[in-house]
Structures are given as C-alpha cells and as structure tokens.
Amino acid sequence: MVEKAFITADVLVWARESAKISVENAAKKSSVSPERYLTWEKGNDFPTIRQAKILAKYFRRPFSLLFLPEVPKDFHPLEDYRRNDSLELDTASLFIIRDIQEKQSWISELYEEIGEEVLPFVGKYTMNDNPEVIAQNILNTLKINPANYQKTPINEWIEKAEMAGIFVSRAGYLHSKLTLNNDLIQGFAIADKFAPFVFVNSKNNWKAPQLFTLVHELAHIWIAKSGISNETDMDFTDKPKSKFHPVELFCNQVAASALMPREIVLHLGKDTFESQNKVFKQAKELGISSFALLVRALNLNLISNTEYQELKLDAQKEFEKFLEKERIKKEKQKERKGGPDTYLLRLAKNSKLFTRIVMDTFNNGSLQPSIASNLLNTQTNKFSKFEKLLT
C-alpha cells in the first residue's frame, strides 16, 4: 500500500496560493485531476509522500513545512514601488524574491551573531537630501570614477559594491520554464544594516539597463527603502509621472547622477550630441544606454527637446537592431545546444560574495551540508565548481 503524507490542508493551500500557482497546474504536476487535488486542500484525503514531495518542490517550500499544524509566518513582503498600473507579480518573481530573502536573512543573522559592524551608508540619507549629493557619496564609498573605469562598467560596479559589503544577485530565470519578466520586475533591494542585498533582472542581455537598475537599487540602500522596482528607466518624458512612485523617481535621479555626473556630461559639450553614433560611443564608455545619456543631456540643457526627440528616434532604431541581433544569437545557441555555464549563472544569481561566505562557513564545519546546499542551490559535492570560478 502506498504511504500517505498526512500534510495540513491549510498549509497546502497557502503554499500553492503564495506561489501564484493554479489548482489545475498543481494537479497536473502531481498527476491527478483537479477534483482529486482539491480533496487534499479540503482535508478529505491526502497525497502520497511522493506527490507531496513533488508539490513541495513545485511550490519552492521545504517538504517538512507541509506538515506544520498551521500556516507559518512567511517573509515580510517587500514594499512595491512599481508603477500603479503594474500587473501582479507572477510565480517567477515571487520565487526569486523569496530566494533572495532567505539568503539575506541567513547572512544578516550570521553577521549580527558574530559581531560584524553595521554598514554606515545604509540609510545614511533620505529623500529630503540632494540626489547628486547621494550619488557622489555612492561613488566615494565604492571608489568608482565613471570617467575612468578600470574594467567593464557593470563588472566594476558589482565588484566594488560587493567589496563594500553589498550582495549583488543577477538572474534572468529560475529554470528553463520559469523566466523573469522585465515588465513585472527589473530589480529590488533589501536595505539591511548588516547585509544589504540587491537583485537585478538580467533577462535582457543588454548590460546598460542592468547597470542603471543596479545603481538605482543601490540608491534604495542609501535611503533605506527596501522594495521592488519595474521602471528603472531614464526616459519618463512620454509617460504620465503620476503613475510613478516618488521613491522610484528619486532613485532614478540618484542613479543618473552617479552614472553620469554633471561635470562629466557638461564636459562632453554639444558636439557629442551631433549624431547618434557619437552619442552611442560616449554612452558605451559610460556603460549606460543612449536613452539615458540623452535624457541626462536634456535635463542639463545641453540639447533642446527637438534635438532630444530626433536623437531618441535614432536610438530606438539602434536598440531594435540590437534586439534582433540578440534574437538571432539565442537561436544559434539553441541550435548548438550550448549556452552559458550553469555554475557561472548560478554564481551570479547567488552573488559571488554570498557564495564565498557560505562555502567558507561550510568548509570550517560551522554550517550543515543541507543548509549550505539549499543556500547555494547546489549539492555540496559540486562546490568545487564555484571554487574555480571564484579564483
């Protein structure tokens, strides 16, 4: 006789609903009809142990959690700073938020327990402060000079942010069937005084928007506003600003000032904006998009609104060409059945700094294998794969 899993019906309902998964999909995953599945949620019957394990994995919850006598308290939901007409977060968005919250909670508790000092820049400013002052403090703290990057801009920002104690995670999907939607979530920040975490959606391979999102989320850390973003974009001129949260508008101002400091942009002069080719070349050096540079130049009165609209149209055409090239590249990768290294992607999702700390804690015997494996989403006997990438 197949052994039943005597799980708690209310907990099963909560696990499914909190993952934004339908009854039909949960039933299909456990190979039963929706009617049969609902008998489990009503407590009239129970799944087999195998079915319960499948569901726990599908809902991204520990198997043992389904046996709790009542619904547990989940992580506190992050503030939603997205546009007020945004759609509800989907399963992929909720899963990545929960995954990062789990990592952040563990490292923050560890740091507090061992007596790590709090980071002075978390919450150092408020929205009453000048965005350019905050931007300069970010640059000074991370020791970054946008006029003289030593490596690819986004790589330098990530490396120096993690050197300062900020954990940076980037991912575009959780697995092949669960990808992140840029329209729903572009990034989020957890402004913790011990272990601040920043997440950047890398679904779009274009590095410029990712960098802007990264610095936007760093601004959230500096004003201690944990939350989710989906419009980290400089080009607000054609959109009703009433739909944008004040925090998002403010953090975009900080990001623009940090990535394109006033003195650098003014030094470029009007010559840079004579053609889209010149704009693109300068934007590439700064690691930002042509759109961002054009808006910054418009706001600093380097170009007129007419010039901005003309150059923006040219930039849009170039961006469409880029998207087409990316589409072709992905198709070729599928044909070759290749792609980026799995462990390199996992390392970016975990954050290099976080991965190193978990591995060090595990290697010195202070962390159980099951916990270490769960935190890095990797079996401990594969940790050597990370070692090679971290050296």
Asked if residue 254 and residue 303 are part of one domain, the reply reads no
Which residues lie across from 80 on neighbouring strands? 228
Asked if residue 237 and residue 380 are part of one domain, the reply reads no
Sign for the pseudo-dihedral over CA of 216, 218, 219, 220: positive
Of 45-49, 115-119, 340-344, which range is least confident? 340-344
Asked if residue 355 and residue 322 are part of one domain, the reply reads no
| Per-residue burial over 335-369, b = 16 or more CB atoms within 10 Å of its CB, e = otherwise | eeeeeeeebebbbbbbbbbbbbbbbebbeeeebee
Asked if residue 169 and residue 105 are part of one domain, the reply reads yes
Per-residue model confidence as pLDDT tens digits over 161-218? 999 999 999 999 887 778 999 889 999 999 999 999 999 999 877 788 899 999 999 9
pLDDT interval class at 85 (50, 70, 90): confident
- Domain-embedded: residue 134: yes
- Residues 372 and 378: their CA atoms lie apart, in Å, by 8
Contact assessment for residue 53 and residue 123, using Cβ atoms and an 8 Å cutoff: no
Backbone angles phi, psi at 169, to 5 degrees: -115, 135
The pLDDT value given to residue 139: 98
Element (DSSP H or E) covering residue 187: strand 187-190
- Residues 163 and 160: their CA atoms lie apart, in Å, by 5
- Domain-embedded: residue 311: yes
Q: Is 150 exposed, middle or buried (0-12, 13-18, 19+ CB in 10 A)?
A: exposed
Q: Which two tokens stand for residue 251?
A: 């953090």
Backbone angles phi, psi at 190, to 5 degrees: -120, 105
Contact assessment for residue 235 and residue 295, using Cβ atoms and an 8 Å cutoff: yes
- Domain-embedded: residue 295: yes
pLDDT at 235 exceeding the cut of 60: no
Asked if residue 346 and residue 335 are part of one domain, the reply reads no
Asked if residue 364 and residue 296 are part of one domain, the reply reads no
pLDDT interval class at 247 (50, 70, 90): very high
The pLDDT value given to residue 277: 87
Point out the domain boundary residue: 235, 259, 283.
Answer: 259
Per-residue model confidence as pLDDT tens digits over 16-65? 999 999 999 999 999 999 999 999 999 999 999 999 999 999 999 989 89
- Domain-embedded: residue 102: yes
Question: What is each CA distance from 128 to 104, 108, 214, 223, 247, in whole angstroms?
Answer: 28, 28, 22, 10, 11
- Domain-embedded: residue 283: yes
Asked if residue 241 and residue 132 are part of one domain, the reply reads yes
Asked if residue 180 and residue 110 are part of one domain, the reply reads yes
Our CA angle for 202, 18, 180, nearest 5°, is 15
Point out the domain boundary residue: 259, 283, 314.
Answer: 259
- Domain-embedded: residue 73: no
Asked if residue 376 and residue 359 are part of one domain, the reply reads yes
Q: Quote the number of domains for the chain.
A: 4
Residue showing tokens 């899963």: 95
Which domain, by its residues, includes 358?
Answer: 342-390
Asked if residue 61 and residue 101 are part of one domain, the reply reads no
Asked if residue 346 and residue 334 are part of one domain, the reply reads no
Mean pLDDT confidence for 211-228: 97
Which residues lie across from 187 on neighbouring strands? 200, 229
Asked if residue 327 and residue 297 are part of one domain, the reply reads yes
Question: What is each CA distance from 74 to 20, 91, 230, 343, 368, in whole angstroms?
Answer: 15, 16, 23, 29, 23
Q: Which two tokens stand for residue 293?
A: 């540079």
Distance, CA of 14 to chain centre: 25
pLDDT at 274 exceeding the cut of 90: no
Contact assessment for residue 227 and residue 79, using Cβ atoms and an 8 Å cutoff: yes
- Domain-embedded: residue 21: yes
Element (DSSP H or E) covering residue 262: helix 262-268
The pLDDT value given to residue 168: 98
Long-range contacts of 151-155 (CB under 8 A, 24+ apart): 152/207, 152/287, 153/207, 153/211, 153/286, 153/287, 153/288, 154/207, 154/210, 154/211, 154/214, 154/287
pLDDT at 98 exceeding the cut of 70: yes
Q: Is 304 exposed, middle or buried (0-12, 13-18, 19+ CB in 10 A)?
A: exposed
Domain of 29, CATH number, reads 1.10.260.40
- Domain-embedded: residue 49: yes
